[in-house]
Structure 1
Amino acid sequence: MTPPTDPARRAPLSRERVLRAAVALADGTGIEALSMRRLAQDLGVVPMALYKHVANKEELLDGMVDVVVGGIGSPDLDPGWRAAVRGRILAAREALRSHPWALQVIRSRNGPTPALLAHMDAVIGSFRNGGFSVDLTHHVMHALGSRLLGFTQEVFDAPAAAPHPRPPEPDAALGQLAERYPYVAELAGASAHDDGSVVGRGCDDQLEFEFALDLLLDGFERLRHEGWTSAPAGGQAC
């Protein structure tokens, strides 16, 4: 008697099924473990069957980005520009944090995928429909930078997690640090620290992200209200 097979493995292969299986594989094992052979194994097909739906691994990665970014929820139908932009950016942050590999893959792309372009278009549209000029919107998008996808590009990358907790620094070493760099030491000791933070041991990532985002949004509104333009008085912008 032939053993029963998993119904999911018997389902007809499609591009959407391939991409969603690839996202699940990357979520479960990390993007480094993703290969066409491993993906085919998970889907219960031969590797060549995948190439009917994705031309190569690069196209597979593009499609995976679109699955993740395409899942970014939209805010309410008709909020003001600020609520719309803030809601979409925080939704992007939540979507990408659910797939830790996604930001690495996005950074590796040569250009924006269709879903990334749609996300950017929605944010730009919120500014334009909120009364921002094309000129100001152009500069606003540069100011947002990586925050558009819910992340802040830090000066230093977060260190890799150590297999064992790092022993506390000797009091003498801390004293020397404070003597040479008093303001760094003062700031570092200002809050309880958490090793999982990206922006600094102990910093609340979500709090710090929203703090910076709200400062930017407030500044954008002030510039919009003032009719700011990059063109010098009596001339054209470069």
Structure 2
Amino acid sequence: MSTQPPIWARPEPKGRGRQSPLSRAGIVRVAIEVADAEGLEAVSMRRLARELSAGAMSLYHYFENREELLELMIDTVAAEMVVPDLPGDWRPAVEAVARHSRAMFRAHTWVLPIFQDVPAVTPNLLRHIEQTARAVASLEGQPPELLSALAGAVDDFTIGFTLRELSGGERRQRSWDTPELRLLLESGEFPLVASFIAADSPMPAPDFELGLRWLLDGFQAQLA
């Protein structure tokens, strides 16, 4: 087990060779491009070395292992969740954080399973968490546990919605039009399902903004 500081706290190592084109940021950028296009499983030191026209062992001069590379990949994309100009009012602020988070998850789908667990804490991820806390903290006079619950609920909604949105919504939509379903509907046991299908809306397209509004409306109603 390494006793070194985390990768993001260590200085950039000097390149090997007088004109080495490699750098941590450059390696991370290519790793993110590969992950975005082919999934995280496609990211290996050997693959990155090929993309960078470098020797595989040369990458270990910049990262001790793949886990360190992944940590900087997460930190890099987490920066996209930080809202440049956070609104002062709690609701627009929370909405802005949620939208930026969703945009990042949609751009880098490989990171979603990592955020379902507990990712390593990195500077940009902590900046996102701090900004989320600042967004809900603008609700003055509310207990910290309530504000923490709101932040968690919005985060869970954003991750869960995006996962569902990206996990085959079109396939689910098409699955309603099957011989098996038509046979079941003919029994008359499922009149409400039949009415939804007759209205051509068995599974409405997911609506992030609507769901977020309902969530925040419900929270706001409890404050009244």
Q: Same fold (TM over 0.5)?
A: yes
Per the normalisation by structure 2, the TM-score is: 0.73
CA offsets per residue over residues 138-179 of structure 1, 9 Å max, x none? 22133224234583565xx945987xx879423x74152363
* Structure 1 unpaired stretches of 5+: 1-9, 194-199, 227-238
CA offsets per residue over residues 45-91 of structure 1, 9 Å max, x none? 21222222222112222221221121225153443111111012111
Please say if 1:216 is aligned against 2:224.
no
Please name the residue that 2:102 is paired with.
Answer: 93
Contact preservation (8 Å) 1:61, 1:105: no
Q: Which residue identity lines up with residue 210 of structure 1 in the other structure?
A: E
Q: Equivalences for 1:26-175 in 2 at 5 Å?
A: 26-74=35-83, 76-107=85-116, 110-131=119-140, 132-149=142-159, 151=161, 158-159=167-168, 168-170=177-179, 173-175=181-183
Post-superposition offset of 1:39: 0.7
Number of residue pairs matched by the alignment? 202
* Structure 2 unpaired stretches of 5+: 1-18
Post-superposition offset of 1:105: 3.7
User: Helix, strand or coil: the match of 2:147?
Assistant: helix
* CA distance in 2: counterparts of 1:142 and 1:167, whole angstroms: 33
Post-superposition offset of 1:128: 0.9
* CA distance in 1: counterparts of 2:86 and 2:169, whole angstroms: 41
Post-superposition offset of 1:32: 2.3
Q: Which residue identity lines up with residue 138 of structure 1 in the other structure?
A: S
* Cα separation, partners in 2 of 1:75 and 1:211, compared to 1, 3 Å: farther
More helix by share: 2
CA offsets per residue over residues 185-215 of structure 1, 9 Å max, x none? 434554457xxxxxx5xx323xx22111111
CA offsets per residue over residues 78-134 of structure 1, 9 Å max, x none? 431111110121111112211222213433655444433321221111111232420
Contact preservation (8 Å) 1:66, 1:114: yes
User: Helix, strand or coil: the match of 1:151?
Assistant: helix
* CA distance in 1: counterparts of 2:150 and 2:22, whole angstroms: 43
By relative contact order (CA 8 Å, sep 6+), the higher-ranking structure is: 2
* Superposed CA RMSD: 3.3
Give the percent of matched residue pairs that are identical in Structure 1 and Structure 2.
32
Contact preservation (8 Å) 1:65, 1:106: no
